[in-house]
């Protein structure tokens, strides 16, 4: 008999209580397979969060627009946060845009995730770390994240962008 999602959640919670690890020694005693099973059960209800780094020495080429593209994200997801560390040499002339696109081409196609916040959908800075927390908007699976670096000065700049993403739980399809 198949369980409803509520019954499955209750089963997982009960399993977690029964296996509530009163000490770290019990965690260390678990096999890789048991840890894998726990992680998969948790992710099936909560999804997972990860950071995609775009860090390239001299990645923002002088006086040009440079594009960086992630691997394809094969689950529905939302953005949690964008963090950019701007070099001092940027002097406010390095613009960073973050796009979501259904293709992995190095161009400006895609939806700018900052566009709903401001008519100037890019981040700029000089020798500082800029963090932006975003309202969760769901994007479909099969998308790519593009970081666009528009360098307005005549020297290459280091690129250091971190994009935090949360995937949505995997919900089994009814058969």
Blockwise average pLDDT, block size 10, the chain, 175 residues: 65 66 58 74 72 91 93 90 95 95 93 89 94 87 95 94 86 54
Check: CB of residue 114 under 8 Å from CB of residue 132. yes
CATH number for 151: 2.60.120.200
Tell which residue, 128, 41, 123, has the closest CA to residue 88: 128
Phi and psi dihedrals of 58, rounded to 5? 55, 30
**Number of domains within the chain:** 2
pLDDT score recorded for residue 3: 63
pLDDT score recorded for residue 29: 67
pLDDT score recorded for residue 44: 65
Quote the CA–CA distance of 68 and 105 in Å, as a whole number. Answer: 9
Q: Quick one: 125 and 160 in the same domain?
A: yes
Whether 120 is in a domain gets the answer: yes
Q: Quick one: 21 and 91 in the same domain?
A: no
Q: Quick one: 42 and 53 in the same domain?
A: no
Tell which residue, 162, 160, 158, 161, has the closest CA to residue 62: 158
Check: CB of residue 49 under 8 Å from CB of residue 164. yes
Q: Quick one: 36 and 122 in the same domain?
A: no
pLDDT score recorded for residue 26: 62
pLDDT score recorded for residue 25: 52
Q: Quick one: 93 and 56 in the same domain?
A: yes
Whether 174 is in a domain gets the answer: no
pLDDT score recorded for residue 15: 64
Give me the domain span that covers residue 108: 48-167
3-state secondary structure of 159: strand
């Amino acid at each position: 008999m198949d369980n409803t999602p509520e019954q499955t959640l209750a089963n997982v919670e009960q399993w977690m209580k029964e296996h509530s690890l009163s000490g770290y020694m019990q965690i260390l005693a678990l096999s890789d397979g048991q840890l894998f099973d726990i992680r998969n059960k948790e992710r099936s209800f909560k999804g997972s969060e990860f950071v995609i780094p775009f860090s390239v020495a001299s990645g923002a080429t002088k006086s040009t627009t440079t594009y960086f593209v992630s691997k394809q994200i094969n689950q529905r997801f939302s953005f949690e946060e964008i963090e950019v560390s701007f070099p001092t040499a940027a002097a406010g002339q390095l613009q960073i845009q973050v796009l979501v696109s259904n293709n992995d081409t190095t161009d400006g196609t895609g939806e700018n995730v900052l566009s709903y916040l401001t008519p100037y959908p890019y981040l700029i800075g000089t020798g500082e770390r800029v963090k932006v927390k975003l309202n969760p908007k769901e994007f479909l699976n099969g998308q790519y994240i593009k970081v666009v670096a528009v360098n307005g000065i005549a020297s290459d700049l280091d690129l250091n962008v971190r994009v935090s993403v949360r995937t949505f739980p995997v919900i089994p399809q009814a058969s």
